[in-house]
Amino acid sequence: MDKARDAAGGQRRELATFAGGCFWCMVAPFEALYGVKSVVSGYMGGHVERPTYQQVCSGDTGHCEVVQVSFDPAVLPYARLLDVYWRQIDPTDAGGQFFDRGTSYQTAIFYHNEEQRREAEKSKRELAASGRFDRPVATKILPAAEFYPAEEYHQNYHKKATAHYARYRAGSGRDAFIEKHWGKEKEINKEGLRKRLTRLQYEVTQNSATEPPFRNEYWDNEREGLYVDIISGEPLFSSREKFDAGCGWPSFTRPLQPDQILKKEDLSHGMIRTEVRSKKTDSHLGHVFNDGPGTAGLRYCINSASLRFIPKEDLEKEGYGQYRSLFD
């Protein structure tokens, strides 16, 4: 079934399947999303049962390399997966992806139900109308077929062979393409921000200032809800991961959506630290340290001025209803 519930926790699970060229490069972007349960590399869309990697690469089976994502739609909407998908590929290339050519490397969205089909078609139309690319969008939208998991050595390749994976991504041209076509989103109209934000909010987000400890809006906030990017409204942190670190700033054990956080080395003020920035707006958020209480041992120390808090009772009216189940 395409929709199911966990026997223990009662969480919904739904499947989404995407072809985006080499499946090595398509796992990590989805795996990082909060609400994703698993990402499996495999093959779909062909006419041969249980194909091998060699058969698929030959182009004789008609299969595409795909990733199949199992996710909780109550936490992670399908539209968010589509948004992540488009940002990993060249949707105008009908003959493959980057230096990988042939049928097995073509792009496609394989829908598992009519709702997914409608959302996929809508997102494709919006992308085509955006003017982001100077050629037509060639990605196909097809009904899901039999899924065959790839050989074990292909699963989580980005973790098994990290160095080779990084060289492959860069050498293929994928990373450069993504930066060229999506990096421009980081450009923010600073004059407009000066009018929208308070002086402190502007200095923190745009000039990497630090607000005073114990004298900021959320350091001692104990209410349940979401903390979103003050500029874009992108959900960044949840009260479920917030804890009192005694430092005077709001602290979290992990971000809500790890792929929306950027980490950069910060050598300012004579220290060696890891800065945390919002990926969508490139805003300064704070720093992350290795002295947290969670299983990963991390403490995300964040400026209140970079955030807006949305109480759980206001999530629906603020447009974040899909996150309500986090607090049930």
Per-residue model confidence as pLDDT tens digits over 94-147 = 999 999 999 999 999 999 999 999 999 999 999 999 888 999 999 999 999 999
Same fold, 3-183 and 190-327: no
Q: Is the pTM of this model over 0.75?
A: no
Can you give the pLDDT at residue 61? 93
Q: Could you confirm whether 57 is annotated as catalytic?
A: no
Do residues 236 and 261 touch, judged by C-beta distance below 8 A?
A: yes
E strand or H helix that includes residue 18: strand 12-20
**What residue ranges do the domains of the chain occupy?**
3-183, 190-327
Would you tell me which CATH number, out of the four given (3.40.50.1100, 3.30.910.10, 3.40.50.150, 3.30.1060.10), belongs to the domain 3-183? 3.30.1060.10
Residue 69 φ/ψ, nearest 5 degrees: -105, 125
Q: Could you confirm whether 301 is annotated as catalytic?
A: yes
In a 3-state reduction of DSSP, which class is residue 281? coil
The Cα 328–Cα 325 span in angstroms is: 5
pLDDT over 90 for what percent of the chain?
68
Can you give the pLDDT at residue 208? 92
- The active-site residue, picked from 25, 57, 64, 301, is 301
- The active-site residue, picked from 22, 25, 57, 64, is 22
Q: What is the CATH number of domain 190-327?
A: 2.170.150.20
142 class by beta-carbon count within 10 Å (0-12 exposed, 13-18 middle, 19+ buried):
middle
Tokens of 102: 């042939």
pLDDT band at 186 (very low <50, low <70, confident <90, very high): low
